[in-house]
């Protein structure tokens, strides 16, 4: 069985995208390949077909490998709720909430489970492409490591170490990482990759030779800085602040913002600008305002109330269009009740009050994949008709409707089981909307409907929206081409022991 692990000198050096690239290259070359990251820390998550939760980075990697995402690709997901606490997701289900120290002390409990998952993957695929987290040189975590060298040891995997040259100091970070590894760990490292390079590689080459002489590890290639419409890990995302296209969509950047991958499909439209707002001064007068999901809805509502953004939202509601997604949907209501204290010690808080709904937080998290349809016929390029949407739910609250709202969608299936449920809410004139469905803009029909309404108001030519999944496939193939042309794939195949 062949395997390779991409580790990095730190967070955001490009590990996730390199793993996705290798998955696509191996797939193109005719191998069955599977991504694997034992432990991921992220606020962007996804719901599988069987209703389980996993990190979004491994979802992209699964698509790159030509697979349906499944939780064995990411058995442990940590979702921070504050600087020192997180929710622990194990095998797709909530395991509990803990402090950083509590989780650090329990990590070794998962060692056997991770070993079993990896053994199962090994038996079913030609190649496993693994991803580390952060840096393997975090020596204070070494004795309980289950994601970097600790995981490489569990499955006896060779390691390639990636460094980000765009931030500067890449030679020092690679050499320093190697310096802090144990002798056994050093022996696992078979090569390095320099990532995000801008400039003339010929000028860089003397440095590569000197680095190889210092660490005695070959450099497998230099990857240029590039931009493709592919999602990255939470920490790697740059939150745009500027209006760059005719349609201005503003997203409130909540302190605990989650699933901001919801907006990637909007970014793929060439006449759409998606920017993130943190202060009242940045608010402006957008064509659409989105209040996104949150891992701590109540605390984030208190924060936008404190910093003045809530007042701007209320003023904007008098003439603008607002969409709340998940936590943002809950914030738009009249009240939020948390009797079980699932998020904070606050049992009840007043909402923004723009939707006639009340939210009650429950003990159990809802995690479902959904297919739905608009309740009303909508004015589309094809005339009046109901439009289809798809996405997924991740929430711990339910909403009770008041008299001044009506549901937006009818859910037709949850996790492939037929249902007939009302979902979402909007005010009487349709200018204030809310839904629990993440990924709603991935559905081309809904994205097209919303954007063409804005185009019509701005006298911009109406247009069709592309199928986002097709765009993702195209960009994964472009990614594979970039990496093939940048690194020595013959050496990669030597490392995975395939000739």
Beta strands in 212-287 (DSSP E): 219-224, 247-252, 257-258, 272-277
The one catalytic residue in 23, 34, 326, 399 is: 326
CA distances from 331 to 308, 352, 377 (A): 15, 6, 27
What residues have CB less than 8 Å from 342, skipping those under 6 apart? 361, 362, 363, 396
- In this structure, the dihedral spanned by the alpha carbons of residues 476, 482, 486 and 489, taken in order and rounded to 10 degrees, is 40
Is 219 annotated in the active site? Answer: no
CB 211 within 8 A of CB 183: no
Among residues 490, 459, 381, 474, which one has the least CA distance to residue 24? 474
Residue whose entry in the numeric block shows the structure tokens 């995208």: 17
395 assigned to active site: no
Give yes or no for a contact between 163 and 133, defined as CB atoms under 8 angstroms apart: no
H-helix segments, 160-290? 170-180, 183-188, 201-215, 264-267
First-to-last C-alpha distance (Å) of the chain: 13
Contact 133, 146 (CB under 8 A): no
What is the Cα–Cα distance from 191 to 206, expressed in whole angstroms? Answer: 17
- In sequence order, the 6+-apart residues with CB closer than 8 A to the CB of 250 are 275, 276, 277, 283, 284, 286, 288, 289, 290
Which are the catalytic amino acids?
326, 438
């Amino acid at each position: 069985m062949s395997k390779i692990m991409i580790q990095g000198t730190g967070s955001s050096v490009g590990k996730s995208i390199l793993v996705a690239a290798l998955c696509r290259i191996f797939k193109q070359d005719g191998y069955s390949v599977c991504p694997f990251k034992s432990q991921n820390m992220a606020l962007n998550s996804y719901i599988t077909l069987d209703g389980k939760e996993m990190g979004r980075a491994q979802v992209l990697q699964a698509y790159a490998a030509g697979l349906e995402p499944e939780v064995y690709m990411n058995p442990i997901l940590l979702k921070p709720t504050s600087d020192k606490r997180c929710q622990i997701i194990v095998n797709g289900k909530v395991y509990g909430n803990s402090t950083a120290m509590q989780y650090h002390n329990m990590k070794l409990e998962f060692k056997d489970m991770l070993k079993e998952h990896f053994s199962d993957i090994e038996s079913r695929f030609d190649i496993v492409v693994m991803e580390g987290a952060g840096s393997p040189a975090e020596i204070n975590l070494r004795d309980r490591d289950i994601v970097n060298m600790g995981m490489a040891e569990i499955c006896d995997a060779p390691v390639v170490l990636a460094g980000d040259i765009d931030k500067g100091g890449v030679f020092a970070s690679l050499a320093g990482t190697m310096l802090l590894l144990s002798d056994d760990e050093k022996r696992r490292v078979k090569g390095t990759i320099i990532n995000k390079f801008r400039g003339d590689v010929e000028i860089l080459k003397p440095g590569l030779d000197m680095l190889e002489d210092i660490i005695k590890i070959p450099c497998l290639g230099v990857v240029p800085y590039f931009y493709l419409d592919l999602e990255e890990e939470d920490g790697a995302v740059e939150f745009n602040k500027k209006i760059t296209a005719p349609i201005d969509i503003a997203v409130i950047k909540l302190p605990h913002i989650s699933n901001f991958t919801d907006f990637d499909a909007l970014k793929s439209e060439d006449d759409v600008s998606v920017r993130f707002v943190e202060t009242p001064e940045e608010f402006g007068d957008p064509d659409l305002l989105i209040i996104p999901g949150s891992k701590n809805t109540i605390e984030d509502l208190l924060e936008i109330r404190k910093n003045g953004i809530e007042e701007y939202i209320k003023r904007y509601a008098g003439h603008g269009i607002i969409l709340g997604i998940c936590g943002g949907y809950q914030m738009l209501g009249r009240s939020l009740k948390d009797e079980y204290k699932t998020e904070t010690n606050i049992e009840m808080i007043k909402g923004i009050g723009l939707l006639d709904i009340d939210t009650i937080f429950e003990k159990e998290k809802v995690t479902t994949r959904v297919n739905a349809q608009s309740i009303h016929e909508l004015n589309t390029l094809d005339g009046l008709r109901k439009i289809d949407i798809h996405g997924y739910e991740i929430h711990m609250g339910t909403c009770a409707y008041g008299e001044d709202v009506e549901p937006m969608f009818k859910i037709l299936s949850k996790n492939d089981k037929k249902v007939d449920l009302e979902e979402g809410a909007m005010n009487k004139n349709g200018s204030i909307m809310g839904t629990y469905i993440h990924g709603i803009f991935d559905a081309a029909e809904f994205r097209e409907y919303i954007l063409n309404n804005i185009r019509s108001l701005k006298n911009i030519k109406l247009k069709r929206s592309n199928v986002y999944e097709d765009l993702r496939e195209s960009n994964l193939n472009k990614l594979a081409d970039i990496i093939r042309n940048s690194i020595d794939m013959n050496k990669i195949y030597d490392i995975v022991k395939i000739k």
